Amino acid sequence: MKPEKSKIMIKMVMIFVLSAIVFYCFQPFVYSSEKWPGVDESVVEKYAKEHGRESSEPFINTDQGDLLLFVFLLAGTIGGFIGGYYWRMLIMPPGDRKETHSL
Amino acid sequence: MKKTVFKTACTALNNFKIHFFVLSAFIFLMLSGNAYAMHISEGILPFNWAVLWFVVAAPFVAYGLYKLKKLSSIDPSFKPLVGLVAAVVFIISCMPMPVPTAGTCSHPCGTGISAILLGPGLSVLVAAVALFIQALFLAHGGLSTLGANIVSMGIMGSFAGYITFKTLRGFNTNLFAAGFVAGLIADWATYLSTSVELASGIMGGSPFMPLFTKIIIAFVPTQLPLGILEGAITGGMVVLLYKKRPDLLIKMKVIKSVGGVANEA
């Protein structure tokens, strides 16, 4: 194997191992959703309920099973692509930048 | 020869850090379970309070629109930065993060970085758009409480972050530290104003201060560490942009000159 290729392989393995560590560090926190409520529930709604105010259903209720997870994933994907597109426009070399009306 | 090897090693390390960061961020996002918010939910505030916060927010949003139109007419190339910051604020403000110290989830606001890069006026507009989309499609916040959420996250977060950054830079604080404190203060200011809005809206006949204190204390275990995280994100983004596009930061009046801050970043 060429030294360049082995370097890339080592780098990829290290990235994979470190990413796996990150994954397993956060996994328990994320999947134990019952134990980790959001502050909207644990603070806002809790105190509002104590004072006789309860939250009502959203105008478009996407909080139904996995639908909410799906719309969040969709929103994150679209937002991520938009962010990435503009980030690329901002950091591309000056020669290419002029053609795409970036800063 | 030694210099070349060192340079190559530094580049490889930088690339490695970027790849690791991107992959970790991707995994972290893919792990997202249920969506947890920090905004005031639909229907929590009484009608008169909800209207009041809309009235407070309206001039700031209008000013943001005016600023966008004005800056775009002067320099159309300004748009990519607005697009990038809007996407960042939207993603950051709907990214639930578990806080082990509190056993709860919450998310950063992103208004610190948007206020530093775009100015507080435009930052309010960016936050308003993000909050509107979240309230409409993501069951995150609410349409009736949109005004209150714009005031807390958009106005208070942006202005607190911007003033902090400018003040610290005025005292020649380094770029990362100024960004860090600005992000931290923007986050905490958001929760402080959320507590004011919530306490004033739900107090009924009971006194304001005890309820306000109770709410703010309840926010502390979650928001204290999250504020620090938001500070790190804000400081890191400012330094990253400084390294990649210092001219952009000069154009946006974030820094005065590249030479002047070369040793500070």
Q: Hey, what are B125's tokens?
A: 């507009």
User: Do A43 and A92 reside in the same domain of the chain?
Assistant: no
Contact B45/A31, CB-based, under 8 Å? no
Of A34-48, B158-172, B225-239, the poorest mean pLDDT is in A34-48
- B204 burial type by CB count under 10 A (0-12 exposed, 13-18 middle, 19+ buried): exposed
Same domain, A92 and A63: yes
A3 and A46 co-located in one domain:
yes
Size of interface A-B (CB pairs under 8 A): 202
What does B102-120 look like in DSSP terms, one character per residue? TTEEE----HHHHHHHH-H
Task: Mark whether A51 and A83 lie in a shared domain.
Answer: no
Residue B228 parent element (H or E): helix B208-244
Please tell me which of the candidates A7, A79, A102 has its beta carbon nearest to residue B91: A79
Nearest CA in chain B to A56: B43
Contact A68 B98 (CB under 8 A): no
Q: B94 and B105 in contact (C-beta within 8 Å)?
A: no
**Same domain assignment for residues A26 and A50:** yes
Q: Find the helix packing angle between B79-92 and B120-137, rounded to 10°.
A: 50
Shortest Cα distance from B40 to chain A (angstroms)?
Answer: 7
How much is the pLDDT for B141?
85
Please give, rounded to a whole number of angstroms, the shortest distance from the CA of B164 to a CA of chain A.
26
Smallest Cβ–Cβ distance between B80 and the set A30, A73, A90 belongs to: A90
Burial readout B163-175 (b: 16 or more C-beta within 10 A, e: otherwise): bbbbebbeeebbb
> B152 by DSSP, 3-state: which?
helix
pLDDT in tens, B62-82: 999 999 998 888 877 788 888
CA geometry: angle B194, B62, B223, nearest 5 deg: 20
Residue B85 has pLDDT above 70, yes or no: yes
Q: What is the pLDDT of residue B60?
A: 96
pLDDT of residue B34: 47
Do A41 and A66 reside in the same domain of the chain? no
Same domain, A52 and A67: no
Question: Are both A51 and A90 inside the same structural domain?
Answer: no
Q: What is the pLDDT of residues B104-127, one digit of tens each?
A: 888 888 999 999 999 999 999 999
Q: Total domain count for chain A?
A: 2
Structure tokens, B42: 């639909």
Q: Return the pLDDT at B262.
A: 43
Same domain assignment for residues A86 and A38: no
Greater pLDDT, B113 or A97: B113
**Is residue B24 within 8 Å of residue A18, measured between CB atoms?**
yes
pLDDT at B11: 57
Q: Which residue among B31, B77, B94 places its CB closest to the CB of A102? A: B77
How much is the average pLDDT of A27-54? 74
- Identify whether the C-beta of residue B111 lies closer than 8 Å to the C-beta of residue B155: no
Q: What is the distance in angstroms between the Cα of B255 and the nearest Cα belonging to chain A? A: 16
Nearest residue in B to A81, CA atom: B87
Closest CA to B203 of B212, B191, B213, B194: B212
> How many Cα atoms are found within 13 Å in the side-chain-facing hemisphere of B264?
22
CA distance A13 to chain B (A): 11
Chain-centre distance of CA B90, in angstroms?
Answer: 9
Q: Which of A40, A56, A72 is the last residue of a domain?
A: A56
Q: Based on the domain organization, do A48 and A74 belong to the same domain?
A: no
3-state secondary structure of B224: helix
Distances (CA, A) of B262 to A61, B164, B249, B255: 50, 21, 13, 11
My answer on whether A48 and A73 are in the same domain is: no
| Interface test mutation site (partner B, options A17, A25, A32, A36, max chain B beta carbons within 10 A) | A36
Looking at A24, A39, A56, the residue that finishes a domain is: A56
Partner residue opposite B36 with nearest CB, options A40, A79, A91 = A40
Q: Containing domain of residue A97, as a range? A: 59-103
Task: Over range A82-101, report the average pLDDT.
Answer: 74
The reply to whether A29 and A50 lie within a common domain is yes
- Give the whole-number percent of chain B exceeding pLDDT 90: 47
